[in-house]
Amino acid sequence: MSKIKTSCAVLLLLLPILLGGKMAEKIKIFDVATGQVNEVEKIDKTEAEWKKILTPEQYKITRLKATEAAFTGHCPIPKKGERGVYACVCCGTDLFKVETKFESGTGWPSFWEPVSGLNVKETEDNSLGMKRVEVNCARCNAHLGHVFTDGPLPTGKRYCINAAALVFKKIQNPKHDKLETAAFAAGCFWGVEAAFKEAKGVVSVTSGFMGGLTKNPTYEEVCTGKTGHAETVLVEYDPSIVSYEKLLNFFWDIHDPTTLNRQGPDVGSQYRSVIFYYSPEQQKSALLSKEILGKSKKYKKPVVTEIIKAGEFYKAEEFHQDYYGKRGLKPTCHIPLK
């Protein structure tokens, strides 16, 4: 009987495929109200289905990648003391918190960061004869706008978003006000990303570049060693689950911090060991952690890890994101040392 039940269950799972459909892809999305990362199905509708639930303007902007005229769109303004997020008008995915909105003077709603790197997708956009970075909803692929590097601190980014792509969601007592960000360089970011993704409390990890002067560098440019950038991972984490100090300990455990400009066979300044701090508190913790490690005599050689203020983070090409996971490979480096 159990074999029959199992066979029926498998048949039900395969039925959509047998009938010409396809299994819905699942992704992780951060929910502001609960403070949790949930696995949800990506939303894929036909153009006719989108037209039924969107206004003509919303459809034109989110599905056909149009741009509303400057100073014509208006985001709903929450009442004083009201908490909430601006969500995707197509699928309701949380996108930007009210408190990250700022007046940019451009004529479009502007935010300095999304609620999580999981909820938005950034891709290179070479349309209209210019190089830009398009911002899409990660769940339904709705076109939201573009992101630029002329925003305010702490991120230095300006997410320039079409008002018609957003809807305001009121949230009563969100579980966590904010995820926090950390950045580390510890050699090849393929392995570093894979390692940090295994750390409890880490919400998302993105591979990229930081620490140099070249704007929007490519992987090939960084590999020349002439950009000044280090291969870096941007770590989003929940401080109620894992502390920054524990992430520092994890960082020390996954690489050799005594080798200057190299990790194993990878040689070059782009493979140097760096802790990029985002606040005075992170700087203090990093300096103390490095001092404690040096005094522990764990290594015969001195720790050469740099501790410097975080600058602009440049996301690496999609090919490098979740490199091992996409290929079903087991990382061969950056395994926590025992």
The rounded distance, in Å, linking the Cα atoms of 272 and 81 is 45
Tokens of 311: 């600058």
Quick check: is 333 catalytic? no
Q: Which amino acid is at 206?
A: T
Pairing of strands 84-88, 94-97: antiparallel
Of these residues, 88, 137, 160, 333, which one is catalytic?
160
Of these residues, 88, 90, 188, 333, which one is catalytic?
188
Quick check: is 140 catalytic? no
Closest by CA position to 285, among listed 314, 262, 238, 251: 251
Could you list the active site residues? 160, 188
